[in-house]
Structures are given as structure tokens and as C-alpha cells.
Amino acid sequence: MSLPTPTPRNRAVITGASSGIGAALAERLAARGYSLILVARREDRLRELATRLSGSHRVEAEVHACDLGDRDARAKLAGELAARDIAVLCNNAGFATYGPLSTLDPERERLQVELDVVAVHELTLAVLPGMLERKAGAILITGSTAGNQPGPNNTTYAASKAFANTFAESLHTELAGTGVGCTLLAPGPVRTEFAQVAEVSSVDRLVPGPLWVTAEEAAKQAVAGLAKGKRRVVPGPFAKAQTLGGQYSPRWISAAVLRAVYRRLT
């Protein structure tokens, strides 16, 4: 599998495109000649990005202001995408919460599952039949090293990203030989607005500066991985160490360590 050839008809879809990794993915794909469908809640940010990318890379950039946590809005978007020629789908939107589960806002926890899990599932189901019929397509799913092991005090997010990680890697193998590929992007700490959205300002202090990866570097490695048909992309040495720790450490040890770490964030 390789990335489909960009055409005037097909599109690359990026969710969570208003900032961070999503905006960087849009930049990378536009530079490769893909016209875009940019999806996020903040329409003003999307329009600024669309104007900049369409001007600098001479591609079309459509804006879809959509709250993917809203079931009705998500269903409408999924229906539209199912009817179009989608070359690339980047399931990137998501957020995290920190703290003991019983103390967190139940509605925000539900919204987190809707966005981090259900939206990824539904948008993939929407575009996959068309990709298989055309024998061409690439799907990127932004998971996390947080999904490699239990994450006490980060429970919903860790479970959500465990779904994303396993879903992406399972689909990767399932699609072998079809012309359609699926790649997992599993980053560790990335310099984005993620901590601000999670309402956790101490993330910056907890992880030393040299261990952070920029959104641009994560997107660069993700798109290169898509082009090569890779199963998993893990940007940065810290994320690679986290991945090894999550895979090979006894889960009771990793759970105890992360319980202590995430307690410092709340």
C-alpha cells in the first residue's frame, strides 16, 4: 500500500485540524498535492488554515465545522464522506481528562469516549467501503503510548487509546493486499494545545523539554509512515521508551508507576 495519487476529485480528511498534529497533518498532505476536508469545532481556525494552505500549495481546502462528539453532527458528516472519493482519512481529534474517575464530570467522560472512540470507528466505517471498491486509500489513526498499559487517574483516555491502538493495528493486518492501508500514530508528549484542552497545566513541568516532540515532527513521521504502509509510527525516543515499557513491563508495575505520575497532574 502507498498513498493514493492526489486528483482533482479525491480528498484527504483531517479531524482535529484546527491546531497541533491535525493542522500539521493538513500541511503535510497539502504539500503532497492533496485537496483537503478540514474538520474541527473551531470554524475560524479552520478557515484561516484553509486559506493559507490553498494559497501556498494550490489545493482546494474545504471547511467542515463539526463537533464529532455530537452524534447527529457526526452522522451527517459520516454520510457525506461515505458518498465521496476519500483518499486519506486522518482520525486525529481527541482529548484527555485526568483525575480519579469518580470525581470527573460524567458528561465530559462520555464526550471523551464519543470523540476518542466512537467517532474514530464511525468515520472509518464510512470511508472504508469506498476505499476498498477503488482499491486505494490510507487511514491514519492517532492513538497514544497511553493506550499501551493501564492509566490510573487517566482511565477513560488510556482505555480510549487502547481501543484506537488495537483498532488501527488490527485493521492494518486485515487490509493487507487490498490496496488500502491503516497506520497507527502513537505519540508520547507532543507540543500542542492538548494540555490546555485537558485543563492540566502541569504537564509541561512533568516532562523535561528535550523529551517533547513537535506537532510538525509527529505529522512528518506519520505521513511518511502512511506512504510506506507502516503498521505503527512512534515519534521520538521518549515515546519509543514508553512503548517498550508498556509492552514488556508487568502491568501491575506500569499501573502503579502511572498512578503516581498522573496524581501529580491533578
Return the active site residues: 157
Would you state the cell numbers that stand for residue 184, as one nine-digit string?
Answer: 497507527
C-beta of residue 180 within 8 angstroms of C-beta of residue 131? yes
Residue 80 half-sphere exposure toward CB, CA atoms < 13 A = 13
**157 closest CA partner among 212, 104, 193, 215:** 104
Q: Give Cα 97 to chain centroid, integer Å.
A: 16
What phi-psi label fits residue 127: left (phi over 0), alpha (psi between -120 and 50 degrees) or beta?
alpha
C-beta of residue 151 within 8 angstroms of C-beta of residue 259? no
